[in-house]
Amino acid sequence: MPRINPVIVHEPWSFDKIFPYLKDAFGVMNEAYKIIYKEKSIHPYKKPANKKKWNLENSLTEDLVRIAETIPTELFYELDIESKNPKKKNRIDITIIYALGIGFEQRLGIECKRLKNNNRFCYEYHENGIKRFVEGYYSEKMPIAGMIGFIQEDSADEIVPNINRHLDKFTTIQPLKPVSLVEHVHFTFFSRHKRSGELGEIKLYHLMLDYIKLIVSG
């Protein structure tokens, strides 16, 4: 059943009203990650033998959302995997649909990326993640958004400084720094970025999840 609060809203909500939805969703997805960790520690992710191509990022995202949807939440919202819909423009990985009225809904975006402490992955995290929020390709009308990093190698302590080295100095107000977002959840970060024109700035919250022991390399 969709967990959507049936309130008719005619304009984007303020940061103070939107932020609790992202915070709660991150908490729920962290609980889903704990469930995945127990299962995949025994049966890790591995490329199917009958597939030439395997989109690991999509598999990680889909499992995270699928399990998160079974966990009770404090607020009413629905998680949706937009990246599964090839016809949808500006497809972000996950959306939090947190208000729904007649012909109206609000969507708060979360983009997911695999991470290792090398220039290729850290560059991709910025170029095809953070930068898409900055340019308004994702979450154009939202003052905040989220990102999830699936760590395959190394650690968040090593990776985050490398990501910061790739940030655009002209659009970054605050590079990634640790923030206490959800109780008992480590490795959450915060950054602020300027956007072009009248879009103003956007605040990004980053959740880093350790998948090092959960994926069979190669």
Ranges of H-type helices in the chain: 15-42, 56-68, 119-125, 131-134, 156-166
Number of domains in the chain: 1
In this prediction, residue 117 carries a pLDDT of 95
Three-point CA angle 33, 181, 212, nearest 5°: 35
Q: Model-level pTM?
A: 0.89
Identify whether 190 is part of a domain. Answer: yes
Give pLDDT tens digits for 161-207: 999 999 999 999 999 999 998 877 779 999 999 998 788 899 999 99
Residue 6 counted as domain residue:
no
Domain containing 51 equals 15-214
Residue for token pair 């939440």: 73
Find which of 2-11, 83-92, 137-146 is predicted with most confidence, using mean pLDDT. 137-146
Nearest C-alpha neighbor of 132 from the set 177, 173, 192, 92? 92
Q: Compute how many other C-beta atoms are within 10 angstroms of the C-beta atom of residue 42.
A: 7
